[in-house]
Chain A
């Protein structure tokens, strides 16, 4: 039976789609499988992290737009606040009861949420500072360019501006 001929472009597109789809699927599956395998061995950690890392989750979902970096900043500080208690759990009694006991102590949440609040502040304060710095830099550049132009006019006259006499 005669096969229907396909264009070269169409064949290339199909091959590319097939290749891409297959590769992405394998990676995600591997990662999720590994995480799934580890969960039964670290339930106390999961309980502690779930309770203390809520601000990071909130930062992730609350931010809109293409540049969503808030969860990284808040998350980083949030995690820094949680890490000492995670180490206490890991190097102490690694049980769910111990995890809940830590959570019930006000200090753990205070440090976790306090640090995430600092992260938020850093996240809110940095863009205006960068903008101010960039603006200052532009103004200095403009001044430098205009000074160079003035010098050219002094040396060559206003004709250098490119206007006909």
Chain B
């Protein structure tokens, strides 16, 4: 693991292991330096563990235009989708509390043997604030923490809010001293992993902590403020009071006692800090301090400290898996962890009874009862019971993420989760079931209050469901993958080492890999490429995508050439000779779509000229000449009719042998009779003439 950032033994760090290991494997052998945008040189020989992220190895970087500028690069492994939208938003932004992201983009990285997403940052001169959450932590005095950390970070969070993004990686191990004197603290990288994926459970809200790390979603600035609160608490106290707890125990403690009590306990802190931490660590996101409250606090306004409320405690515990649960949220989390064991008590009505009698929440008990009663009836009983449990967990804890057979995700985190699962070649069935069974819709309904973003997401999930139900090229799971991850590079093995994020990069990448293609029958398109085109094209290309899977290979190929031609026309480049040659080698199928041999010869003669020119547009126009096609079609129909008529006549002539013999006999006899009569008449005439003469 690239653990320049300390691993505190929490779950997410473990989750990130696989991907991080991939970085180490990829980054092991040194090679020639990488060059980003022909300006930044990244040296692969000397990694910087002290600046590496859990999913990205750090290397020194140089700006060719300004060699004295201190920079470093983070190299993202191909399997982890980076936050390209955030990169776009914060590139070049100079904020006092945030490292400046200087440049980003895919770069050929020799140690990995392929292109990798690379992010160039200004190099912090003072290094990381703390290397690990284990053991003693260097304290920051309460009089220092305001000007050094809170003020600049608050300004940066405001900057992020104005740009409509969140950081989701605020933790002490991701803070850096920008100066050698340790006067200026900044937030570190937040773009090399999906949002909050590297965050230990400690730094995530109760709700976000319940989601799988890869499926926490973008969240809101309230999540960032919570993380800031935890970071402040640890840096103020100089220790992590929850360090000895594992993930399950930490979550239980947060639910039962509240985050503040779990993290701060009885530690004596200045009143102002208590007020700040209570505000930021409030477990109710609606009551939690926002940036305005933080501003007021920094200006010296004192607000009344918030008291955390853990929810209603039941009079009697609910026995489940050898433990008694007194809170609905806690019980729901336990049930989500033990999915199969949770189904029987729900279906048998024990949960409803507990809610009715022990929690005395008749409304919720009735809702659970209704869900169980209405959902079970016919069809797949296993799936029905899974859906019942999913709905019941939403009733027990509406703010929690979607929880379905071990897949715990917020709707905006489903995309990154799917990307990670596909990259790891893990089972994607829970995600597929989640979309097909419209579970996000159920979750949005369970939230109660209307949110415009949710309706937009609901509509998106409806479209995704439509894509999943279609199995052809350009649809299915791959389409969902690219629709939900607009910054995910195309995962097609056809592209090899190429890192293709945008549609305009696809054709040049295919052109670059085309010379290596030795299989004469292989198309320059597979399910990933088709889905990528479908998701990234701004226009509706679904008709051509559907035609790609046509049983008639010629029609499919023409649809592909059409798509490529449109993209070349719109996005360039003008010449793609290698890709044109690839297409040309396959064009035989499209040429045979013409029936006329003469036309085929003409096309076969013209095609090599256009291949040399590298113009897919002209190849398409040559093969898909509507007038010529119509002429060919009508000519062929005429020829078919002619052939059929000749066939009929041949059959008739061959079948009429007996009839012809009879006809010949009759005609012969008639002819003989006529001959006899004529001879008779001629004789009579001659004799009459002779006698009369």
Give chain A's interface residues, CB within 8 Å of chain B: 67, 69-70, 72-77, 79-80, 83-84, 87, 91, 119, 122-123, 125-131, 133-135, 138, 141-142, 145-146, 148-149, 152-157, 159-162
**Is B677 an interface residue when CB atoms closer than 8 A count as contact?**
yes
**What separation, in Å, do the CA atoms of A160 and B333 have in the docked complex?**
69
With both chains docked as a complex, state the minimum distance between the C-beta of A141 and any C-beta of chain B, in angstroms. Answer: 6
Are A76 and B679 within 8 A (Cβ)?
Answer: yes
* Residue from the list B635, B677, B687 in contact with A76, Cβ < 8 A: B677
Contacts of A134 in B (CB 8 A): 660, 663-664, 667
**What separation, in Å, do the CA atoms of A59 and B272 have in the docked complex?**
144
Are B636 and A141 within 8 A (Cβ)?
Answer: no
Are A72 and B673 within 8 A (Cβ)?
Answer: yes
Task: Give the interface SS of chain B, mostly helix, strand, loop or mixed.
Answer: helix
* Residue from the list B597, B649, B675 in contact with A156, Cβ < 8 A: B597
**Is B265 an interface residue when CB atoms closer than 8 A count as contact?**
no
Are A73 and B663 within 8 A (Cβ)?
Answer: no
Closest to B661 in A: A131
Are A122 and B675 within 8 A (Cβ)?
Answer: yes
Closest to A148 in B: B646
Which residues B6-53 have CB closer than 8 A to chain A? none
Provide the B670-685 mask, 1 if CB < 8 A to any CB of A, else 0.
Answer: 1111111111111110
Task: Decide: A91 near B595, CB < 8 A? Known: A134-B663, A148-B646.
Answer: no
Are B679 and A126 within 8 A (Cβ)?
Answer: no
**Is B161 an interface residue when CB atoms closer than 8 A count as contact?**
no
* Residue from the list B597, B636, B668, B680 in contact with A129, Cβ < 8 A: B668
Are B660 and A135 within 8 A (Cβ)?
Answer: yes
Task: Decide: A123 near B676, CB < 8 A? Known: A80-B684, A155-B598, A156-B597.
Answer: yes
**What separation, in Å, do the CA atoms of A141 and B681 have in the docked complex?**
37
With both chains docked as a complex, state the minimum distance between the C-beta of A149 and any C-beta of chain B, in angstroms. Answer: 5
Are B664 and A149 within 8 A (Cβ)?
Answer: no
Task: Decide: A73 near B676, CB < 8 A? Known: A80-B684, A126-B671, A149-B646.
Answer: yes
Are A155 and B687 within 8 A (Cβ)?
Answer: no
Which residues B229-254 have CB closer than 8 A to chain A? none
Task: Decide: A77 near B687, CB < 8 A? Known: A127-B664, A152-B639, A156-B597.
Answer: no
Are A156 and B636 within 8 A (Cβ)?
Answer: yes
Are B660 and A157 within 8 A (Cβ)?
Answer: no
Are B676 and A77 within 8 A (Cβ)?
Answer: yes
Are B676 and A154 within 8 A (Cβ)?
Answer: no
Which residues B627-645 have CB closer than 8 A to chain A? 635-636, 639-640, 642-644
Contacts of B642 in A (CB 8 A): 148, 152
**Is B287 an interface residue when CB atoms closer than 8 A count as contact?**
no
Task: Decide: A162 near B650, CB < 8 A? Known: A73-B672, A123-B669, A129-B668.
Answer: no
With both chains docked as a complex, state the minimum distance between the C-beta of B470 and any C-beta of chain A, in angstroms. Answer: 26
**What separation, in Å, do the CA atoms of A163 and B673 have in the docked complex?**
50
With both chains docked as a complex, state the minimum distance between the C-beta of A77 and any C-beta of chain B, in angstroms. Answer: 5
Identify 4 new A-B residue pairs, CB closer than 8 A, beyond the known A76-B681, A135-B660. Answer: A72-B673, A72-B674, A73-B669, A127-B667
* Residue from the list A142, A148, A162 in contact with B640, Cβ < 8 A: A162
**Is B653 an interface residue when CB atoms closer than 8 A count as contact?**
yes
**Is B691 an interface residue when CB atoms closer than 8 A count as contact?**
yes
Are B672 and A128 within 8 A (Cβ)?
Answer: no
**Is B654 an interface residue when CB atoms closer than 8 A count as contact?**
yes
With both chains docked as a complex, state the minimum distance between the C-beta of B258 and any C-beta of chain A, in angstroms. Answer: 73
With both chains docked as a complex, state the minimum distance between the C-beta of A127 and any C-beta of chain B, in angstroms. Answer: 3
Contacts of A80 in B (CB 8 A): 679-680, 682-684
Contacts of B636 in A (CB 8 A): 156, 159-160
Closest to B598 in A: A155
Which 4 pairs between the two chains have the least Cβ-Cβ distance? A127-B668, A76-B676, A131-B664, A73-B676
Are A162 and B676 within 8 A (Cβ)?
Answer: no
**What separation, in Å, do the CA atoms of A72 and B595 have in the docked complex?**
59
**Is B602 an interface residue when CB atoms closer than 8 A count as contact?**
no
**Is B665 an interface residue when CB atoms closer than 8 A count as contact?**
yes
* Residue from the list B656, B674, B680 in contact with A77, Cβ < 8 A: B680
**What separation, in Å, do the CA atoms of A134 and B667 have in the docked complex?**
10
Task: Decide: A131 near B668, CB < 8 A? Known: A83-B687, A142-B650.
Answer: yes
**What separation, in Å, do the CA atoms of A156 and B664 have in the docked complex?**
38
**Is B647 an interface residue when CB atoms closer than 8 A count as contact?**
yes
**Is B666 an interface residue when CB atoms closer than 8 A count as contact?**
yes
**Is B596 an interface residue when CB atoms closer than 8 A count as contact?**
yes
**What separation, in Å, do the CA atoms of A122 and B653 have in the docked complex?**
28
* Residue from the list B595, B656, B670, B680 in contact with A67, Cβ < 8 A: B670
**What separation, in Å, do the CA atoms of A130 and B665 have in the docked complex?**
7
Contacts of A129 in B (CB 8 A): 668
Are B672 and A155 within 8 A (Cβ)?
Answer: no
**What separation, in Å, do the CA atoms of A91 and B691 have in the docked complex?**
9
Contacts of B684 in A (CB 8 A): 79-80, 83
**What separation, in Å, do the CA atoms of A83 and B689 have in the docked complex?**
13
* Residue from the list A142, A155, A160 in contact with B653, Cβ < 8 A: A142
**What separation, in Å, do the CA atoms of A125 and B654 have in the docked complex?**
25
Closest to B675 in A: A122
Contacts of A77 in B (CB 8 A): 676, 679-680
**What separation, in Å, do the CA atoms of A124 and B650 have in the docked complex?**
31
Contacts of B667 in A (CB 8 A): 127, 130, 134
Are A155 and B665 within 8 A (Cβ)?
Answer: no
* Most-contacted residue by chain A among B644, B664, B672, B673 (CB, 10 A): B672
Closest to A144 in B: B646
* Most-contacted residue by chain A among B596, B666, B679 (CB, 10 A): B679
With both chains docked as a complex, state the minimum distance between the C-beta of A80 and any C-beta of chain B, in angstroms. Answer: 4
Are B649 and A145 within 8 A (Cβ)?
Answer: yes
With both chains docked as a complex, state the minimum distance between the C-beta of B200 and any C-beta of chain A, in angstroms. Answer: 62
Closest to A63 in B: B669
**What separation, in Å, do the CA atoms of A67 and B669 have in the docked complex?**
8
Are A131 and B597 within 8 A (Cβ)?
Answer: no
* Residue from the list A74, A125, A148 in contact with B676, Cβ < 8 A: A74
* Residue from the list A76, A131, A157 in contact with B665, Cβ < 8 A: A131
**What separation, in Å, do the CA atoms of A30 and B242 have in the docked complex?**
141
Task: Decide: A145 near B650, CB < 8 A? Known: A69-B669, A126-B672.
Answer: yes
Are B675 and A162 within 8 A (Cβ)?
Answer: no
Listed by A's residue number, 13 A-B pairs whose Cβ atoms lie within 8 Å are A69-B669, A73-B675, A76-B681, A83-B684, A125-B672, A128-B668, A134-B660, A134-B663, A141-B653, A142-B650, A146-B650, A155-B597, A161-B643
Contacts of A135 in B (CB 8 A): 660, 664
Closest to B648 in A: A145
**What separation, in Å, do the CA atoms of A123 and B674 have in the docked complex?**
10
Task: Decide: A76 near B678, CB < 8 A? Known: A127-B672, A149-B643.
Answer: yes
Contacts of B640 in A (CB 8 A): 156, 159-160, 162
Contacts of B639 in A (CB 8 A): 152, 155-156, 160
Task: Decide: A130 near B595, CB < 8 A? Known: A145-B646, A148-B646.
Answer: no
**What separation, in Å, do the CA atoms of A33 and B389 have in the docked complex?**
118
Contacts of A69 in B (CB 8 A): 669-670, 672-673
With both chains docked as a complex, state the minimum distance between the C-beta of A71 and any C-beta of chain B, in angstroms. Answer: 8
Are A123 and B672 within 8 A (Cβ)?
Answer: yes
**What separation, in Å, do the CA atoms of A83 and B651 have in the docked complex?**
51
**What separation, in Å, do the CA atoms of A18 and B267 have in the docked complex?**
137
* Most-contacted residue by chain B among A75, A127, A133, A162 (CB, 10 A): A127
**What separation, in Å, do the CA atoms of A125 and B672 have in the docked complex?**
8
**What separation, in Å, do the CA atoms of A72 and B681 have in the docked complex?**
12
